[in-house]
Amino acid sequence: METVHKTFQELTHTQFQAHADNLVAHSKTASKKREAVSYLWSVCSTDKKQLDQDRTDLKAKRHAQKKRQKAVETHLLGMEFDFARSPELFQNQTLTDAQLVSALTQNNETVFMKGKAFSGSITISGDNVTLDGEGSGLAKDGTLANSASVAGDLIITGANVTVKNVDFTSSTNQAVRVNGASNVKLVGCKFAPGGNLTDTKWFYGAGIQSGDITIENCRVEEFDSWYLMDASTASAAATVRLDKVSLINNYFRENAGSIAIRGPVADPNRDVRVIGNRFETTTFHGSFWDFCEVSGGFLRARIENNICIGQVGTNTAVGKKGGFQVWSRSPRPSTLYFKGNQGQNLKVFLKIAHNTVYYTPNSYDTENNLIDVSATLSNCAYAFSPVYKKNDGTTLQDDKWQEGDYTPANLATYPNVPSIVNPNGYATVQPS
C-alpha cells in the first residue's frame, strides 16, 4: 500500500517517481487511474504554490537585509577613520616576552609567535589556548619549517590546549610536561633536547587529567633516555583514563627509548591510534623494549602504516627489542587493528601478551580486529609473537617474547592463538 502524501517536497526524485509509477500501475480501471493522476497533480500544484510563496518571502527578506547593510555602511563611512594614526597596523607586530607569557595564562586566547625566538620554558595555564608559530611542511619528508622557537621546555597545565608549528629545544630532561592538563594537541612542532643534558625524555605524561592527546606531524629527535614518551604516567600502572590518544604522521628520529600508551585496567582508554609514523634509530638504549607499547587497558587500538627501522643487528642479537607491544589486563573486550606496518632490524615486530593475567583481543569482531603482517619486513627475526613467558617461570628475561604459553585469561572464549594475515610466510613465535 502506497503512503498518502500531503506534500512531495520531502521525497527525492527517485522516490517520487517510484511512488507515482506504483500508484498508477496499481489502479486497475480508467476512473481510478484518473483519480491517481489527479491526486499527483493536486499535491504537486500545492507544492508549487508553497514554493512560489517561499520565493516571494525570501526576496522580501533579502531586500530588507540590503537596506540594513546600507544603513550600517552609512555610519561606517561617516566615522572617517584616519589610518595614518594607527601605524602599528602596517608594521610587523611582535609580542614582547612579557606579553607572550601573560597571554598564555588567559583563557580563550590564540597567540601567534611567528618569527619569535623565546628564551625560557613556556607555561600554558589558560584553558582553550592556542599557541601558533605559523609554520608549514611535513615532518616525515623533512620539509617541516617553523620560524618560531623556544629554548626551553613546554609545560601545559590548562585544558584544551593546542601548540602548532613551534620548535622546542628543551632545557631539562623532561621536554614536555602536562601535569594538570586535559585535551592536549601538538601539531607541526619540532622537539630536541638541549646540549649537555642526559637521560632526556620527550613527553612526560604524569599528571594529565583526562581527555585526548593528539600529536600530529611533529618531529622528535635525539632524546637519549629509555623513556621517550609515556602518555599518562611516570612509567607505572595508569590511573587516568584517556578518551583518545593519536600519534599521526610524526617522525621519531634517532631517539633511544620507547613510547608507552597505558590505560587503567578498571576504566580502559577508549581509542588509541598510531598511524603513519616513521620510527628510525641507529642506537637503542639498553632498556629499550619496543618503539610503541599500547597496554594496561584499552578498548580499541589501530596501528597502521607505520615504518620502524631499528639498530642494525638487532634481529640476531640476544634480546627482545621490537616494533609494537600490545596487551590488556582488563576483562572489557578490546580490538586491535594492525595493518600496513613495515619493519627492519628488529627481534619481534609485533607482540601480544597472552598468559594467565592478560586478555586476548576480540577476534570475533572482524571489522575492527585484524593482525596483518603483509607489509615489508626485513631483518626481523619474528613478525609476530602471541606469547609472553612460560607459566612455570623458567623463561629467561631475554627470551620472554620468544617462548611461552598461550593461556590468556579469556582462554575459554578464545581457545586458539589469533590468526594472522601473513602471505610472505614471515617467521612467527609458536607457543611452547
pLDDT of 214: 98
Q: How confident is the model at residue 36 (pLDDT cuts 50, 70, 90)?
A: confident
Q: How confident is the model at residue 262 (pLDDT cuts 50, 70, 90)?
A: very high
Percent with pLDDT over 70 in the chain: 96
Check pLDDT > 50 for residue 364. Answer: yes
313, 248 contact by CB (below 8 A): no
216 beta partners: 187, 248
Please state, rounded to an integer, the average pLDDT across all residues of the chain. 94
Annotate 242-256 with three-state secondary structure. Answer: CCEEEEECCEEECCC
What residue spans define the domains of the chain? 13-67+72-78, 97-399
pLDDT of 89: 44
159, 211 contact by CB (below 8 A): yes
- 111 three-class SS: strand
What is the C-alpha separation between 69 and 62, in angstroms, rounded? 10
pLDDT of 73: 79
Check pLDDT > 60 for residue 90. Answer: no
What amino acid occupies position 265? Answer: V
Q: How confident is the model at residue 372 (pLDDT cuts 50, 70, 90)?
A: very high
Average pLDDT, integer, range 1-25: 88
Instruction: Record the pTM.
Output: 0.81
Tell me the pLDDT tens digit for each residue of 92-106: 557 899 999 999 999
155, 116 contact by CB (below 8 A): no
pLDDT of 91: 47
What is the C-alpha separation between 125 and 129, in angstroms, rounded? 9
CA 304 to chain CA centroid, Å, is 12
**Number of neighbouring beta carbons within 10 Å of residue 385:** 27
pLDDT of 80: 66
Average pLDDT, integer, range 173-191: 98
pLDDT of 83: 58
Check pLDDT > 70 for residue 170. Answer: yes
Give exposure, 274-305, as e/b (b: 16+ Cβ within 10 Å): bbbbbbbbeebbeebbbbbbbbbbbbbbbbbe
pLDDT of 82: 65
Q: For cell 619569535, what's the residue?
A: 116
Q: For cell 502524501, what's the residue?
A: 5
Tell me the pLDDT tens digit for each residue of 400-416: 999 999 999 999 999 99
pLDDT of 81: 63
